[in-house]
Amino acid sequence: MELTGLATGIDTAKIVQQLMAIEGRHKAQLQQTKKDKESTAKVWDEIKSHLSDLNASVDSLATLKDIDSFKSSISDADVLGVSVSDSAQEGSYSIEVGKLATSERIVHGGNFMYATDYVSEGNFIYTYDNKEVEIAVGANTTLEDLVNLINNSSDNPGVRASLLSFDDGTGREHLVLSGTDSGSDYAIKVRDSNSQALKSQKYEYTDTSSGDTVAAGKDTKLSQLSDFDGLVGSTLTITATDNSGASMNVDFDITEQSTLGQLVDAMQRGFGSSAGVTLEDGVINVLDTVSGSSSLSVSYVNDSSTTVDFSVATTGGSTVSGMTEFTDASAFTVAQAASDSQVRVDGFPAGDWITSSSNSVDGVIEGVTLDLTQVTEAGKSVTLNISRDRSKLKENVKAMVDSYNKAVSHLKDVSKYDPATKKAGPLIGDITVRNLLSDLGSNFLGTAVGFNDSDTYSMASQIGIGFNRDGLLELDEDVFDSAVDDDFNAVLDLLGSSGKGRITGDNSSNFSFDLVKDYTKPGDYEISAVYDGTSLTSAQIRRVGDTTWHDADIIGGKIIGSITAQDSAGNYYPERGLQIDFDPGSLTSGTYNTVVSIKQGVAGSLSDMVDRYTDGSDSILSIKKSSLDKMIQSIQDSIDRESTRLDKKESRMKLKYARLEAQMQQLQQSMSAAGILPKK
């Protein structure tokens, strides 16, 4: 509705505008309040971003990921390459390479002029990787067809067939069989009949996480298999005969850690070269290394009353190949024999070699993989030097210091009063900011959690991390470098120690730290155990300084902080998952107490502290932001209501002045008609 003011001569539209401006002051105040709150919320977002950057910078220090790194140098890189993991040790090593691992390659002697020549009908039988393969070859099968049959067989364990064109006087096309694996265990043998094969029952167990029945693998513990119930701590005697009928007995001690793969290895050691023992889909397979009939057998006592006999999967010699052009003893020439690599480190073993089926050799030097590329000259060696890459650690410490200072500087900027500008920061006096600054600084003050004077370093200042007069962190590189040179592992321990513990109280010879879970809180714990002279009957745990004891679980002589127990607020106890071993030794019955300290490095403590402020919907900053968001929404709701009220108010005002204009116009018309209007 437009107000012209023509009848009254008054600018009624401006009057309405001015009145509405007065009426809208509350809405303007709400809008300014909302703007201020939104600005505050943005500041908290910036604080959270700085804390997230800080957490990212301490991650590698808190977990020691990519920190305990090493570098290597080799006197002759043509002989070998090296990969070094974090489990390596500093040192210098003398390495000799006696032989490189090779894969088998055998070439047929000939008799075929063309790839399209027919081969004999029968069964092409070969063994590889202790597995035997039979390929049915029909009439009208060409040499190139045989190549495809071998390569496309679903039973192929790793042999590649091809044709070599070379006229040797007896033929031009030669069948070539190549192994895809190196090592002496991967020889290829073409047979005139099949070999005897034995197999065990299928070993299975129930997966506790899924409830599914799963075929046992080489890493499956025997204690998981019902067929070996009650045998932990006993000796399993494996009785067998080889292909010549000679007897073989192997004793295998079963422990809680014994696996099915270790049992297979024990059987293989017993048979030696007379048979190959493999594990596939939970079944132990034994294959004679020669073809034909055999006296091969194997059995073992599975429990106190049952003897497990291996069934005959193949009798041996029952399938004649009929392919005499391939099964003659001189039919194939070994162009390259399958062989193991040979290395010797620091002269060990004297007069012998450490062998491997691969040219990538692990386990000879802890944490080091040797990639062999060339044999060393007789009596000569190459030198491998391994040293710590200290620069990586310093880079990460500097990154932590820089990120910390950026976060703290920002917190101080948004919460200070500037006397020069006479302006206060948006979060001046905020209790959360004060607590956050205090918590950040406390990580670098005093003794680290779980550490004491017996540790080489127990405070950040001892490795050069301290505060300047502005309350910001600084790194004294001279002190840090000296600490790293003196005891590198102790520096790592102080920065990123996790999952480490020790007994610091009485009865240290009877109690020993075992392990903690990821959710066990670091700190010092009192342990109180009741021993009846034979075994533990009960135990309790509490944090040092607490007054309430918590019942612990007793399992196999171990004291374990309850996994399930919670306080009245539904929080798990801090000792959850803590495991302590108890060895009574010569103790008599009674109650015995000790203290265990669970370490946490400075970086890990800082990371956990930042997580309390930033990680998850229940974190301190998330709750703060959620409260602000609700407040902003509430203000917006008030603004919306006020806008609706003002719109109605303005409509009523316009209607009121419109009626006034109409009445004045009618009055003017009446006066004009009566001739009483004033003359202009």
Distance CA 371, CA 360 (A): 4
For the domain bounded by 103-193+321-336, which CATH number is listed?
2.60.40
Helix (H) or strand (E) segment spanning residue 491: helix 488-496
**Angstrom distance (rounded) from CA 342 to CA 349:** 11
- The domain limits of the chain are 70-101+340-388, 103-193+321-336, 213-313, 396-496, 499-600
**Local structure of 326: helix, strand or coil:** helix
β partners of residue 297: 241
pLDDT of residue 525: 94
Task: Look up residue 186 and give its DSSP letter.
Answer: G
Closest C-alpha to 448, from 515, 524, 547:
524
Closest CA to 136 of 148, 122, 150, 126: 122
165-215: pLDDT as tens digits: 998 787 899 999 999 999 998 999 999 999 999 999 999 999 877 889 999
Torsions phi, psi of 204, nearest 5?
-135, 160
Neighbours of 139 (CB within 10 A): 8
> Is residue 2 within 8 Å of residue 13, measured between CB atoms?
yes
Q: Which residues contact 425 (CB under 8 A, 6 or more apart)?
A: 413, 414, 415, 416, 417, 418
Backbone angles phi, psi at 457, to 5 degrees: -130, 130
Q: How far is CA 379 from CA 98, 258, 355, 634, in A?
A: 10, 41, 18, 85
- How many other CB atoms are there within 10 angstroms of residue 658's CB atom? 15
Asked whether 278 and 130 are in contact (CB, 8 A), the reply is yes
**Between vectors from CA 506 to CA 500 and to CA 512, what angle results, nearest 5°?**
35
**How many Cβ atoms are within 10 Å of 547's Cβ, its own excluded?**
6
pLDDT at 413: 92
Helical ranges in 83-207 per DSSP H? 143-152
**pTM, two decimal places:** 0.62
Largest distance between two CA atoms of the chain? 148
Smallest CA-to-CA distance from 88 within 488, 366, 400 is with: 366
DSSP class of residue 601? -
Three-state SS annotation for 334-356: EEECCECEEEEECCECCCCCEEE
* 14 Ramachandran zone, left/alpha/beta (phi>0; psi -120 to 50): alpha
pLDDT at res. 75 = 95
Specify the 3-state DSSP secondary structure of 383: strand
CATH ID of 213-313, from 3.30.70, 1.20.140, 1.10.1060, 2.60.40: 2.60.40
Q: Which residues of the chain are modeled with pLDDT < 50? A: 1
Q: Is-same-fold flag (103-193+321-336; 213-313)?
A: yes
For residue 391, the SS3 value is: helix
Helix spans in 586-675 (H): 602-614, 620-673
The angle at the Cα of 520, spanning 518 to 525, to the nearest 5 degrees, equals 150
Q: So what's the pLDDT on residue 4?
A: 54
